[in-house]
Amino acid sequence: MQRVNLKNWNFAQYRLDNLMCMVSFGAEPTESEEFQMQYFVTVLEDEQVEKFQKKFDSLNLACAYINEQYGDWEFKDLSVKGSGCSTCSAH
């Protein structure tokens, strides 16, 4: 069974009907004017409407959470190339 992990997290997602769940990242400024990386598990409806988001301070925690909560959904690895326009990772 494929899972989201530290090597594929930015290309992997889970799908169920018109819902998609993925890990993304961002940064937040700290008091010392540096930035702290943050990771977000986000569920989107129709690839546009955010339905849920949870923030994590580590990628390990975000990967563990997405696999535990959404691991029974269909796994998609967008780094795998298909053929034809409809299999492009942009769609």
What residue segments make up the domains of the chain, in order of their start? 12-78
- At residue 91, the pLDDT reads 46
Task: Give the length of the chain.
Answer: 91
Q: What is this structure's pTM?
A: 0.82
Is the pLDDT at 78 greater than 50? The verdict is yes
Per-residue pLDDT of 1-54, as tens digits, reads 799 999 999 999 999 999 999 999 999 888 888 898 999 999 999 999 999 999
What is the band of 59 on the pLDDT scale with cuts at 50, 70, 90?
A: very high
| Residue 29, pLDDT score | 87
CA dihedral 7, 9, 13, 19 (to 10 degrees): 170
pLDDT at residue 88 tops 60: no
